[in-house]
Structure 1
């Protein structure tokens, strides 16, 4: 009877140990599966982030190049105006005075309307700022369309 009881106790201890190891194995498998799932999610997030960064860089390169082209064009226009090759045309009218002065029959020496040197410089500065603002807005719109709305 003692031997039978001893064998029964050994079998119960072995069964309990096996059950404990099986539970640990199942826990380890579920942790491994969760880690693999998380790793694949991180790889996918990394891939998407890389694509978004590449798209952002492409947008930046395109808009910077367009801005540089506009500034080069504006500088060329500025040099041509300064050299006298081109003129800035204004849409201006001269109003006649309500009571003409004695002896003045008209505006004989009235020339074409033209900007002063300071105003001309301000005009080109405004053109540069307008080009910069335009490219910034277009770049942000491209970023929203091509990166954020993916």
Structure 2
């Protein structure tokens, strides 16, 4: 009779060990699932923040590009006005006294208003374009730091 009682006890012990093993696997699977859910939530949040940062960057780029195009259009209009004679580029300068007495016969009063030469005019407009570009680049970088990086 003791032999007949040992067999059901062994079966119960084996079943208990299997159930314990399955519970351990279930608990491990649950913890892995929970960790994956937390990671997925973090990745969604990171993707949302990245999307917002990209949208902000694009908005800054659009704004600065529009301002740069406006400044360049104003510069081109001024260039055309100067070329057509509607406007003049004046230089804040003084005229020095003529070196020879014969040249002084006309006097300084007869001198024209100081103005840039054609070559210097072209350089002036090139510098204005470069200044506008540099200004918009600096303002864009400052906006990027304030509105994107320091968030």
Q: TM-score range by the shorter chain?
A: over 0.9
Structure whose residues are more often helix by fraction: 2
Segment of structure 1 superposing worse, 86-95 or 122-131: 86-95
Name the CA distance, whole Å, in 2 between partners of 1:108 and 1:114: 16
* Count of equivalent residues: 149
Counterpart residue number, 2:121: 120
SS at structure 1 position matched to 2:108: coil
Counterpart residue number, 1:14: 15
Name the CA distance, whole Å, in 1 between partners of 2:103 and 2:50: 79
Question: Any gaps of 5 or more consecutive residues in structure 1?
Answer: none
Counterpart residue number, 2:104: 104
Question: Any gaps of 5 or more consecutive residues in structure 2?
Answer: none
Counterpart residue number, 1:38: 39
Deviations 1:87-119 (A, max 9, x none): 11111012336x762683532432110100000
SS at structure 2 position matched to 1:104: helix
How far off is 1:60 after superposition?
Answer: 0.5
Name the CA distance, whole Å, in 1 between partners of 2:103 and 2:82: 37
Higher relative contact order (CA 8 A, sep 6+): 1
Name the CA distance, whole Å, in 1 between partners of 2:9 and 2:36: 40
Counterpart residue number, 2:139: 138
Equivalent pair of 2:89/2:116 in contact (CA under 8 Å):
yes
